[in-house]
């Protein structure tokens, strides 16, 4: 099935299997990577991509299967072995010390004892030759996410690898930064290096990859040439069936609808030296509309969510107003009692307590708002009532689970997210604030959640969605605004918004904020 290759395979994987408990994360996976190709590894979240890659990089050991490097059978027992063979990896989550300079971070991973100044000089030369300009003496804490990724890439290139593994590299980049990265990857390919490119973004895979291997539920379901496929045929391979499109009826009469959530001049000092301050944020969400907040991760979205939800209080009580009343001085319970509901980004440990049952997790966010229904006289919990309500949500959101009332940690990420969103929708809140509603959720469940958010808005609630997934925001929002460096741009009505405009704003290019535009360089 594989495309024609000149010369031998650089890497060949046969029957690689990894089992965690009862879950077979990778099931007899075969993969060939030729010299000088960009090979895509496609699959939904949870399909086994990360597990496969971790075995190739030596951070996990396979239960069975073989790996051949340049035709020789090898065992990759540690990342050190992988590096020696010539395999380099750029992780999705960076492993950088924010309080150190770029060069110091690079030196830590090289551990060959060469002085920092030599490393800095090498890194600078390499970065410019690949069109990834980087000042090795700058503190990581001061750098944008795109620049931090450059450090990871340079660090990887300094070890002159033959195969470079990139895990979801564009998920933290603006469209313009991603273009820059693609140029670098093409340059590396022309030098004969191989690249394993992990993504679930089909358009970019079609654009830069020569071949693709598609994983579903831990198994290889196909090899193909992505250039000859359409985005929807690739999606079908990944998901296994057609994904229902989200229907968004046009919002009508929004201009005259009441403002249910209002943010006025919201300002927050950074809580730690490396967190983002919020600067004079203004936003209005009216009954019936979905407003999307786009932005590269780490531009203040988490800080903003905490401030709006009331996990952090505001000095100026009027800076957050819910249904026309000041809420800035109220904690999260008070804001819930005013009709607001919240879904945080982290599911386990923030939105849900991992070791507690779903029915108990229902109580987590609703013990006060539904106090009469769930808590009886003297503070006794009505366990029958919360069980019944949890089952109602499980049914409404089609939560798949193995036991009637399992612990939250026993559910897959997507199913837990459906429960957490369903828990709040079940209240029919008049204001809903969601951070990353479908992060790590499979396509079918994501469509379900998005549709539910639109329907909540159309039934007269104000919905605010923070997301790094632009496709998602274009699908569900009536207007999109961009958070960059703790500031929020003016909302663009969806009819006027384009990927390019939003992308520029994500890079900090809003007129009047020139001081921040330097960062994307």
Partner 1 sequence: MRLELVKRPQRSMLFSALSPFIAFVLTIIAGAIMFALLGVNPLTAFRIYFIEPISQVWQLHELAIKAAPLILIAVGLSVCYKANIWNIGAEGQFILGGIVGSIFPVLFPQFEGPLVLPLMLLFGMVGGAAYAAIPALLKTRFNTNEILTSLMLVYVAQLFLDWLVRGPWRDPQGHGFPQTIQFNDSAILPELLPESGRANWGFVFALVAAMLIWILMSRMLKGFEVRVLGSSPRAGRFAGFGLNRMVFFTFLLSGALAGLAGISEISGAIGQLQPVISPGYGFTAIIVAFLGRLNPLGIVAAGLVLALTYLGGEAVQSALGISDKVARVFQGMLLFFVLGCDTLIHYRIRLTGFSAPKLEAAPKLEGAR
Instruction: Kindly tell me which of 16 and 502 has the beta carbon lying closer to partner 1.
Output: 16
User: Judged by CB, which is closer to partner 1: 173, or 363?
Assistant: 363
CA-nearest of 87, 437, 51, 40 to 199 is 40
Nearest to 234 by CA among 205, 192, 197: 205
Residues 6+ apart with CB under 8 A from 375: 367, 381, 382
The whole-angstrom distance between residue 335's C-alpha and the CA centroid of its chain comes to 27
- C-alpha gyration radius of the chain: 24
As measured in angstroms, the least distance from the Cβ of 273 to partner 1 is 18
C-beta of 35 vs 357, nearer to partner 1: 357
The answer to whether 243 and 266 have CB atoms below 8 angstroms apart is: no
- Given a contact cutoff of 8 angstroms between Cβ atoms, the answer to whether 215 and 41 are in contact is yes
Q: Taking the complex as a whole, how short is the minimal distance between the CB of residue 21 and partner 1, in angstroms?
A: 4
From the CB of 218, what's the least distance to partner 1, in Å? Answer: 7
341-361 residues labelled b (16+ CB within 10 A) or e (exposed): bbbbbebeeebbbeeebbbbb
Minimum CB separation of residue 380 from partner 1 in Å reads 5
Shortest Å distance, C-beta 416 to partner 1: 12
Beta carbon nearer to partner 1, 243 or 364: 364
Residue 415 or 468: the one with the smaller Cβ distance to partner 1 is: 415
Closest CB to partner 1 among 62 and 503? 62
Q: How far is the CB of 136 from partner 1 (least distance, A)?
A: 35
By C-alpha distance, which of 284, 288, 251 is closest to 430? 288
Give 76-123 as a 3 state SS string: CCCHHHHHHHCEEEECCCCCCCCCCEHHHHHHHHHCCCCCHHHHHHHH
φ, ψ of residue 151 to 5 degrees: the values are -60, -45
Given the complex with partner 1, which of 218 and 437 has the nearer CB atom?
218
At its nearest, how many Å lie between partner 1 and the CB of residue 24?
A: 5
- Given the complex with partner 1, which of 23 and 514 has the nearer CB atom? 23
Q: Which is nearer to partner 1, 55 or 454 (CB)?
A: 55
In angstroms, rounded to a whole number, what is the distance separating the alpha carbons of residues 33 and 53? 13
Which runs of consecutive H residues, i.e. helices, occur in 158-270? 175-190, 202-208, 231-239
For partner 1, give the closer residue by CB, 65 or 277.
Answer: 65
Nearest partner of 104 among 130, 80, 123, judged by Cα: 123
Smallest distance from partner 1 to CB 219, Å: 10
Nearer Cβ to partner 1 (250/372): 372
Tell me how far apart the alpha carbons of residues 285 and 432 are, in angstroms, rounded to a whole number: 10
Q: 10 Å Cβ neighbour count for 301?
A: 22
CA angle 323–327–333, rounded 5-degree value: 100
Nearest distance from residue 368's CB to partner 1, in Å?
A: 6
Minimum Å distance from CB 61 to partner 1? 7
CB-wise, 46 or 88, nearer to partner 1? 46
DSSP conformation letters of 429-444 = -SEEEEESTTTT--HH
Q: Which is nearer to partner 1, 435 or 481 (CB)?
A: 435
Q: Least distance to partner 1 from the beta carbon of 412, Å?
A: 8
Q: Which residues contact 356 (CB under 8 A, 6 or more apart)?
A: 364, 407, 408
CB of residue 470 to partner 1, shortest distance in Å: 27
Q: CB of residue 55 vs partner 1: minimum separation in angstroms?
A: 11
Please report, as ranges, the residues that interact with partner 1 according to CB under 8 A: 17, 19-24, 61-65, 75, 77, 217-218, 309, 311, 331-333, 336, 342, 344, 346, 348-356, 360, 363-365, 367-368, 375, 378-381, 383
Collect all residues with Cβ–Cβ distance below 8 Å to 428 and sequence separation of at least 6.
456, 459, 461
Closest by Cα among 199, 237, 230 to 216: 237
Instruction: Report whether 477 contacts 494 (CB < 8 A).
Output: yes
CB-based contacts of 272: which residues, under 8 Å, 6+ apart? none
381 exposure class (CB count in 10 Å sphere: 0-12, 13-18, 19+): middle
């Amino acid at each position: 099935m594989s495309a024609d290759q000149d010369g031998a395979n650089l890497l060949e994987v046969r029957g690689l299997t990894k089992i965690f408990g009862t879950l077979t994360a990778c099931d007899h996976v075969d993969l060939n990577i030729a010299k000088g190709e960009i090979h895509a590894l496609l699959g939904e979240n949870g399909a086994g991509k990360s597990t496969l890659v971790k075995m190739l990089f030596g951070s996990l050991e396979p239960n069975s299967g073989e790996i051949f490097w340049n035709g020789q059978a090898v065992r990759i027992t540690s990342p050190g072995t992988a590096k020696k063979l010539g395999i380099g990896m750029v992780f999705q989550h960076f492993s950088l010390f924010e309080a150190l300079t770029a060069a110091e971070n690079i030196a830590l991973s090289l551990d060959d004892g060469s002085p920092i100044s030599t490393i800095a000089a090498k890194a600078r030369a390499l970065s410019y030759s690949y069109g990834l300009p980087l000042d090795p003496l700058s503190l990581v804490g001061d750098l944008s996410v795109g620049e931090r990724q450059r450090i990871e890439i340079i660090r990887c290139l300094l070890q002159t690898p033959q195969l470079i593994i990139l895990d979801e590299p564009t998920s933290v980049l603006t469209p313009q930064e991603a273009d820059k990265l693609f140029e670098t990857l093409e340059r590396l390919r022309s030098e004969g290096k191989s690249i394993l490119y992990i993504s679930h973004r089909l358009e970019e895979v079609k654009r830069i990859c020569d071949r693709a291997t598609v994983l579903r539920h831990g198994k290889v379901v196909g090899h193909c040439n992505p250039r000859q496929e359409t985005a929807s045929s690739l999606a079908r391979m990944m998901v296994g069936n057609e994904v229902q499109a989200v229907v968004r009826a046009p919002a009508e009469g929004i201009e005259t609808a009441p403002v249910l959530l209002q943010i006025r001049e919201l300002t927050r000092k950074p809580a730690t030296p490396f967190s983002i301050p919020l600067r004079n944020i203004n936003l209005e969400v009216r009954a019936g509309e979905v407003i999307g907040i786009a932005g590269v991760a780490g531009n203040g979205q988490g800080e903003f969510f905490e401030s709006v939800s009331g996990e952090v209080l505001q000095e100026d009580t009027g800076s957050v107003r819910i249904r026309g009343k000041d809420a800035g001085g109220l904690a999260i319970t008070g804001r819930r009692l005013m009709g607001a509901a919240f879904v945080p980004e982290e599911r386990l440990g923030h939105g849900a307590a991992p070791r507690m049952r779903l029915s108990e997790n229902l109580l987590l966010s609703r013990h006060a708002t539904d106090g009469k229904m769930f808590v009886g006289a003297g503070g006794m919990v009505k366990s029958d009532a919360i069980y019944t309500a949890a089952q109602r949500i499980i049914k409404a959101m089609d939560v798949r689970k193995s036991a009637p009332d399992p612990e939250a940690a026993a559910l897959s990420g997507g199913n837990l997210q459906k429960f957490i969103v369903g828990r709040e929708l079940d209240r029919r809140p008049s204001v809903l604030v969601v951070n990353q509603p479908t992060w790590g959720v499979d396509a079918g469940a994501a469509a379900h959640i998005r549709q539910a958010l639109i329907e909540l808005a159309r039934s007269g609630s104000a919905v605010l969605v923070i997301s790094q997934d632009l496709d998602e925001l274009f699908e569900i929002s009536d207007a999109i605004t961009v958070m960059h460096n703790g500031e929020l741009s003016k909302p663009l009505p969806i009819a006027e918004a384009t990927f390019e405009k939003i992308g520029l704003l994500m890079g900090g290019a809003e007129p009047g904020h020139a001081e921040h535009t330097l960062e994307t360089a």
